[in-house]
Amino acid sequence: MQELTDPRAMRAWSRATRRAGARVAFVPTMGALHEGHLRLLDRARECADRVVVSIFVNPLQFGPQEDFASYPRDLGRDRALADRRGADALFAPGPDAMYPVEPLVRLAPGPMAEAFEGAVRPGHFAGVLTVVAKLFHAVEPDVAVFGRKDFQQAMLVRRMVADLDFPLEVDVAPTVRELDGLALSSRNAYLKGDERRSALALSRALRAVEQAWRAGQADPAALVGRGLEALRVPGVSPDYLALVDDQLRPVARADAATVVITAARLGRTRLLDNAVLGEGVARDPVAGAP
């Protein structure tokens, strides 16, 4: 596995690789790699000849009160995991390589970024899309793979690529879960004591909505009520639970393509989860299973 820290060196590697006729797939991450990230690498491998993974904790997407300083970082461990999972290149730039000066010009993600995560984390998606655009310029991939776990982010990246004519495909992979249903997340490491058990409220809420929908309920308000009921667990403070389409718009009636999105706080930890009604949490891949 090649390791690159400079965006120009990354671009040179990628251009040489593509000139030689290979298709390049790219998996951007903030590190603290877990099986969810590693499945994205597997997926990248399926759609390309060479796989690039990046590790960069992007200061631009964290609010002043958020966990930028304490975000888990372990490049040695991540390097070994990415190498073992067959990545061809690891792009791990330092903050100065990505931002030699603080960028004045940033992407404006528009109304899709205003609700949900965007409402709770002002400026978050401007930071995300700005770094993703910069990473795309460094890697120039044929395809980039994102996780559905961060649904609003994945849909915004899709729109950015379409609206701004980035010459690449965006692939969105299903959420990898623990056996008990908890979506894998680097932030799960923050959960203390009872919080790990309480965190199951999120996937349970998604299941409750899905079950009610399968039983014939299609009214969004009634379905949201079912979900919020399941989120009523001591120690869990829901930020939102909503039924949306792939443009993050509220739906008038729930159908198989409707996505239930939710976020909640447990102590100082914020967790996100979502499920497509027609697919359901139970069908998501489980960490550890082949």
Which residues are catalytic, by number?
37
Residue 70: CA count within 13 A, CB half-sphere:
10
Quickly list DSSP for 26-43: EEEE-SS--HHHHHHHHH
Angstrom distances, CA of residue 285 to CA of 38, 53, 210, 246: 12, 21, 17, 21
Per CB under 6 A, which region of 13-21, 103-111, 181-189, 249-257 contacts ligand AMP?
181-189
- Residues numbered 141-180 forming contacts with ligand AMP, rule: CB under 6 A: 146-147, 149-150, 173, 175-176
Which residue lies nearer to ligand AMP by CB, 136 or 146? Answer: 146
Residue 171: CA count within 13 A, CB half-sphere:
21
Q: Does 184 bind ligand AMP (CB under 6 A)?
A: yes
CB of 36 to ligand AMP, least distance (A): 3
Which residue lies nearer to ligand AMP by CB, 183 or 202? Answer: 183
Backbone angles phi, psi at 210, to 5 degrees: -60, -45
Q: Does 56 bind ligand AMP (CB under 6 A)?
A: no
The b/e string for 39-50 (b: 16+ C-beta within 10 A; e otherwise) is: bbbbbbbeebeb
CB of 10 to ligand AMP, least distance (A): 17
Question: Which listed residue (38, 87, 126, 183) binds ligand AMP by CB under 6 A?
Answer: 183
CB of 281 to ligand AMP, least distance (A): 12
Per CB under 6 A, which region of 33-41, 44-52, 90-98, 221-229 contacts ligand AMP?
33-41
Which residue lies nearer to ligand AMP by CB, 184 or 212? Answer: 184
Question: Which listed residue (54, 130, 186, 203) binds ligand AMP by CB under 6 A?
Answer: 186
CB atoms within 10 A of CB 254: 23
The C-alpha atoms of residue 120 and residue 107 are separated, in whole angstroms, by 19
Alpha helices in 4-123 (DSSP H): 7-19, 35-47, 75-84, 95-98, 117-120
Q: Does 40 bind ligand AMP (CB under 6 A)?
A: yes
Angstrom distances, CA of residue 177 to CA of 13, 103, 285: 34, 36, 6
Please name the residue that has the structure tokens 């899309």. 129
Token representation of residue 217: 């309920």
Token representation of residue 185: 């997340």
Give the residue at shortest CB distance from ligand AMP. 147
CB of 15 to ligand AMP, least distance (A): 24
CB of 140 to ligand AMP, least distance (A): 18
Question: Which listed residue (10, 17, 37, 170) binds ligand AMP by CB under 6 A?
Answer: 37
Which residues are near ligand AMP by CB under 6 A?
29-30, 36-37, 40, 146-147, 149-150, 173, 175-176, 183-186
